[in-house]
Amino acid sequence: MSMFGGIDAAASGLTAERLRMDVISNNIANVNSTRTVDGGPFKRKYVIFQPREAEKNSFSAMLDGAMNKGGKNRAGDGVRAIGIGTDDSMGKLVYDPGHPDANADGYVELPNVDIVTEMVDMITASRAYEANVTTINAAKSMAQQALNISK
């Protein structure tokens, strides 16, 4: 993998983790939303990641295929978000007959968002983001040192 390939892989990680942080922030913002446009309480969202594969028709993919006997499961291509899933599990039921979203028995279904889980996920996403920034800075530093060799 070239130096720019490492930067490209880290940049894909930055993009993926930023989306993950946005989704987690949305979950936290809706922790008390008992009514949505679709009806019912807010349902927790999560990001689905998948390893990014090099373009099959690109020169680098063909070169890798020739060198690696097919080039499958090659490390370092990065990651991409392929979708945002919804956790359809039921939220906690709370007895509150005066609530406008209470059912006939007086129970209100709360969102299935656990604030502790969301904060742990946010810290994990933040650390992964920082690791990708560190990777890009290291690659940038190596490139600068390579340019200084000729001096």
Q: What is the pLDDT of residue 68?
A: 65
Q: Where are the domains of the chain?
A: 3-31+45-86+113-149
Q: Which amino acid appears at position 54 of this protein?
A: A
Q: What is the pLDDT of residue 95?
A: 95
Residue 7, judged by CB atoms within 10 A of its CB (0-12, 13-18, 19+), counts as: middle
Q: What is the pLDDT of residue 5?
A: 81
Q: What is the pLDDT of residue 98?
A: 93
Is the Cα dihedral 94, 100, 105, 110 positive or negative? negative
Q: Which residues, other chains included, contact 117 with Cβ-Cβ below 8 Å and sequence gap of 6+? A: none
Does the predicted TM-score (pTM) go above 0.85?
no
CB 74 within 8 A of CB 142: no
pLDDT in tens, the chain (151 residues): 566 788 888 999 999 999 999 999 999 999 999 999 988 899 999 999 998 875 555 666 666 666 665 545 455 678 999 999 999 999 999 999 999 999 999 999 999 999 999 999 999 999 999 999 999 999 999 888 888 887 6
Residue 10, judged by CB atoms within 10 A of its CB (0-12, 13-18, 19+), counts as: buried
